[in-house]
Amino acid sequence: MRIAIALAFVVACNSNDVTRTLGARCDKTSECDDRCLVPSGEFPGGFCTVDCVSSGECPGGADCVDREGGVCLFTCTGDDSCMFLGDGWKCHTEKLKADPSKEVSVCRGG
């Protein structure tokens, strides 16, 4: 019971909104506004996202990273800030799509 309450508190306090545009679980693109990164070790439960070239094309709280041809992923400050996405999500460093010489921390599996 305490874990459920703590998880609800973390979800409620997280500023990132999970939507069909960014963050919702999915199995196919028709379940998202733009694109589904199908369930895998890197995207547990699937992940709705937006194709991008720069972070300005991403919803708030996300950056455009150089994965899958350029996709928006939620930014993070540590593994705890990815808990709202569910089990298996961690904070990882990725290269920015627009400038691969720069890195940002984003939520993804593994």
Local mean pLDDT, 10-residue blocks, the chain (110 residues): 38 65 97 97 97 97 97 98 96 98 96
Q: Which residue has the tokens 């019971």?
A: 1
User: What confidence score (pLDDT) does residue 17 get?
Assistant: 84
The total number of structural domains that make up the chain = 1
User: What confidence score (pLDDT) does residue 7 get?
Assistant: 36
Other beta carbons less than 10 A from residue 51's beta carbon: 14
Q: Report which DSSP code applies to 23.
A: B
User: What confidence score (pLDDT) does residue 84 get?
Assistant: 96
User: What confidence score (pLDDT) does residue 102 get?
Assistant: 98
| Segments forming the whole domain that contains residue 39 | 2-109
The residues near 24 (Cβ < 8 Å, ≥ 6 apart) are 18, 31, 32, 47, 48
User: What confidence score (pLDDT) does residue 98 get?
Assistant: 97
Q: Report which DSSP code applies to 63.
A: E
User: What confidence score (pLDDT) does residue 110 get?
Assistant: 85
